[in-house]
Amino acid sequence: MLQLVDVHSGYGRSDVIHGVSIEVPSDGVAAVMGHNGAGKTTLLRAAVGLLKCRSGRILFDGEDITKLRPSARVARGLAYVPQGQQSFGQLTTAENLQVVADGRRNGKQLIAEQLDLFPALKELLPRRAGLLSGGQRQQLAIARALITSPRCLILDEPTEGIQPSVVAEIEQTITALTERGDLSVLLVEQHIGFALQASQRYYVIESGRVTSTGNGGTASESDVRAAMAI
């Protein structure tokens, strides 16, 4: 579904990722793991078009989207949930959802579907997003992305800094989404066990390069920990 082929990208004059190639399977999950500063977020920002590729190609469902703007990539079916539970803090939960749904033919239905997926948000609809907990904001951020009806969802550390009880809920939701069979996921995640359990393919990145790759599944956990030296 989504392929990054020999991608170089970074900030200013410095490359952060150096010739990275990964592949997200159709209706499946690819997990990217690595220590802080390894280049994982840079990789995702390049995939969605927030950073330019200095060389290499990005393919989405066979189409070369390397030079497309982020909005054009979203229109084709990419959705990005950045690190940090981002939302419009001064807007209510309902308004955060409505901003994305506005202009979509089935906007009300799409909002209803996300509230079924994240039932905890129903009671929070009148509350300002800035007053939500980190876990609640993360659920809201994922729900907003899903309103765009993506074919590939890009998640940057969705469980970071969230209380354990909500971490379990988010992990269960991601698993449920991928089991539907109509969504691919590129997942950056620090929880190695969950990342491997959810994915068909994993990649370990160190200093902007892929240093290890293999099939998902918990049997690979020792290999990943060895590759990350943890």
Instruction: Decide if 159 contacts 194 (C-beta within 8 A).
Output: yes
Residue 156 confidence (pLDDT) above 60: yes
Report the CATH fold assignment for 2-87+150-228: Rossmann fold (3.40.50)
Amino acid 30: pLDDT: 93
Confidence grade of residue 230 (pLDDT, cut at 50, 70, 90): low
For the chain, give every domain's residue range.
Answer: 2-87+150-228
Q: What is the pTM of this model?
A: 0.88
3-state helix, strand and coil shares in percent for the chain, rounded to the nearest 5: 40, 25, 35
Question: What are the contacts of 65-74 at 24+ separation with CB within 8 A?
Answer: 73/48, 73/49, 74/148, 74/150
Confidence grade of residue 219 (pLDDT, cut at 50, 70, 90): low
- When pLDDT is averaged across residues 31-38 and rounded to a whole number, the result is 90
Confidence grade of residue 179 (pLDDT, cut at 50, 70, 90): confident
